[in-house]
Amino acid sequence: MAGKAKPKKHTAKELASKAAAALTNKGGGAAGLADRKGGAVGHAKFSCPVCRQAAPSEKSAVAHWDSKHSKLPFVFADWSDLHASVGTTTAGLAVKGGKAKSNHELQKTAAGRAELAKRQEEKLKAQF
């Protein structure tokens, strides 16, 4: 039934615009540079090799490991550096509207799966 002509407090358009403004990286200048560098400014830089939990610094990675995986030996070299994998930016990692698509998005199409295979190949070449 109708709401008896009572105005809505928040429209879908308003809520969508607020979400877009909050999640889209539009920053330029010094603040935008600090945001794109990630790490200490809040975007996660490292990923746990066991549970893929994100950690912004080595110190927080150690804290995560001690609380969640204390029975396993801690080797920081096993942690993956997310910024290095996408070219030292947080595009596509922690902010909506980044240029790089996530692995989940790439798996949906044949062209995306080819891109994932190419990325994996480049990653293997970089290791050796």
Q: Is residue 25's pLDDT more than 80?
A: no
**Tell me, what amino acid is at 27?**
G
Residue 72 forms part of a structural domain: yes
Residue 30 forms part of a structural domain: no
Q: Give pLDDT, residue 103.
A: 76
Residues 104 and 75 occupy one common structural domain:
no
**Residue 16 token pair:** 């969508």
Q: What is the CA radius of gyration of the chain?
A: 20
Q: Is residue 68's pLDDT more than 90?
A: yes
- Cα 31 to Cα 16, 26, 37: the distances in Å are 25, 10, 10
Residues 122 and 80 occupy one common structural domain:
no
Number of domains in the chain: 2
Helix/strand/coil for 106: helix
Note the pLDDT tens digit of each residue in 26-49.
666 666 666 666 544 446 778 889
The label of the residue with tokens 């990675």 reads 61
| Kind and range of the H or E run holding 31 | helix 29-37
Note the pLDDT tens digit of each residue in 49-66.
998 888 878 898 999 999
Residue 115 forms part of a structural domain: yes
Q: Give pLDDT, residue 125.
A: 87
Range of the structural domain that residue 46 is part of: 37-89
Note the pLDDT tens digit of each residue in 70-82.
999 999 989 888 7
Residue 31 contacts residue 42 (beta carbons within 8 Å)? no
Q: Is residue 90's pLDDT more than 80?
A: no
Q: Is residue 128's pLDDT more than 80?
A: no
Distance CA 45, CA 90 (A): 8
Q: Give pLDDT, residue 41.
A: 42
